[in-house]
Homo-oligomer: A and B are copies of this chain.
Amino acid sequence: MHEGIRVVVLGTGQMGSRIARLVLDKPGLELAGVFARRTTRGGMDVGRAIGLDRDIGTSVRVELRQLLETTRPVVAIQATCSLLADARDEMVTLLQHGVRVVSIAEEMAYPAARSPSAAEEMDQLARDHEVAVVGTGINPGFVLDLLVIVLTGVCTDVQSITAERINDLSPYGPTVLASQGVGLTEQVFRHRVASGQVSGHHGFVQSIQMIAHALGWNIERIEESREPIMSHVRRETPHVTVQPGQTAGCLHCATGYRDGIPAITLRHPQQIHPHLEGVRTCDSIEISGTPDVRLAGSPEIDGGAGTAALAVNMIPRVMDAMPGLYCMADLPVPAALPGKTGDWQRGGRSGV
């Protein structure tokens, strides 16, 4: 038996907990520690904090530096936030301690989209400390960017790209439902879009810039729209009731323009119970090019499971990569790590 790779997980919310449980489950990995931003979690047993029904004998830590210095992890998975500005301080601390990082912060999927200088700072820090960093997740990080890029690999020419992800918000709690404007009048929905309370999806700008980066395209501007999805029927979850004439969710779209022409169009309608009005959840990609490529799947790939899997499955990729900041298009693709059986550790080349 080889020793497991020492992994720390930042975040004890729904995603952080799920990822930490997955790290515990993988034979090649060792959960070296868990960090929480919420100081009330400090000292709590990690097992309880991440939703196991048992203690595992180590405590949640709320001092990141101290955690890193005492546990000396090889890799960290960041699951504490969505925005780049919010991710930065933890990222700097991790890199300064020579820890490789996989982040599921949406804006870390392509940091230069939000701030070229922050991306440059992280890239430099990663190189100074000889570690690799990547942002991932189901979206951004996979369905509406990496998968699109892979499919352009069979094209001699690409004119335009359209991709869509239709999901179901029914399993989510009040915070997510509020951010998507579920259960409002059209007027209130539009007011909250204007004020930023209804934010829609985080990640379109990152996905569009990642695709453009891979294709060598210059995107001169990105237009976004957030429209209400009005319900004609009653829809209900444990957290919200939508009456006919109220909003079931938010249709968030983004278009990247190249030479004045819509080149990349991404759509992500998010609502509760779409099937009640005959809408099937799905992932769908259409590339107009030589040849045309169309690929779709229904239902959509499970977002929570997919993001947790990607975070863990990218660990071997940041282990093998040269130092620096990467996006998903710049590393070999993730593959499912075996569970309780098998040894997933492998060399970088296939020949030997």
Instruction: Pick from A3-11, A243-251, A264-272, A330-338 the stretch touching chain B.
Output: A330-338
Instruction: Give the contacts of A5-62 with B (CB-CB under 8 A).
Output: 22, 25
Residues of B within 8 A of A154 (CB): 138, 142, 301-302, 305-306, 309-310
Given contacts A112-B350, A350-B330, contact A335 B119 (CB under 8 A): no
Task: Give the residue of B112, B138, B147, B332 whose beta carbon is less than 8 angstroms from that of A331.
Answer: B332
The closest CB in chain B to the CB of A346 belongs to B216
Q: With an 8 A cutoff between CB atoms, is A210 at the interface?
A: yes
Whole-angstrom distance between the alpha carbons of A216 and B338 in the complex? 7
List the B side residues contacting A334 at CB < 8 Å: 150, 152-153
Tell me whether A291 is interfacial, beta carbon within 8 Å: yes
Task: Tell me if A333 and B158 are in contact (CB < 8 A).
Answer: no
B335 touches A215 (CB 8 A): yes
Report the bound CA distance from A217 to B342 in whole Å. Answer: 7
Question: Is there a chain B Cβ closer than 8 Å to A239's Cβ?
Answer: no
Q: Return the chain B residue nearest A120 by Cβ.
A: B352
* Docked pose: A24 CA to B349 CA in angstroms: 31
**Nearest-Cβ distance from residue A313 to partner chain B, whole angstroms:** 5
Shortest CB–CB separation between residue A14 and chain B, in angstroms?
15
Give residues of chain A (133-171) contacting chain B, Cβ–Cβ below 8 Å. 138, 142, 146-147, 149-150, 152-158
The residues of B that contact A214 with a CB separation of less than 8 Å are: 335
Establish whether residues B298 and A326, one from each chain, have CB atoms under 8 Å apart when the complex forms: no
Taking CB atoms, residues of chain B closer than 8 Å to A173 are none
- Residues on B with C-beta less than 8 A from A308 are 156
15 more A-B residue pairs beyond the given contacts A329-B350, A330-B348, with a C-beta to C-beta distance below 8 A: A111-B351, A123-B352, A142-B153, A154-B301, A155-B309, A156-B309, A158-B336, A213-B346, A213-B350, A215-B344, A216-B342, A295-B297, A325-B349, A326-B349, A327-B350
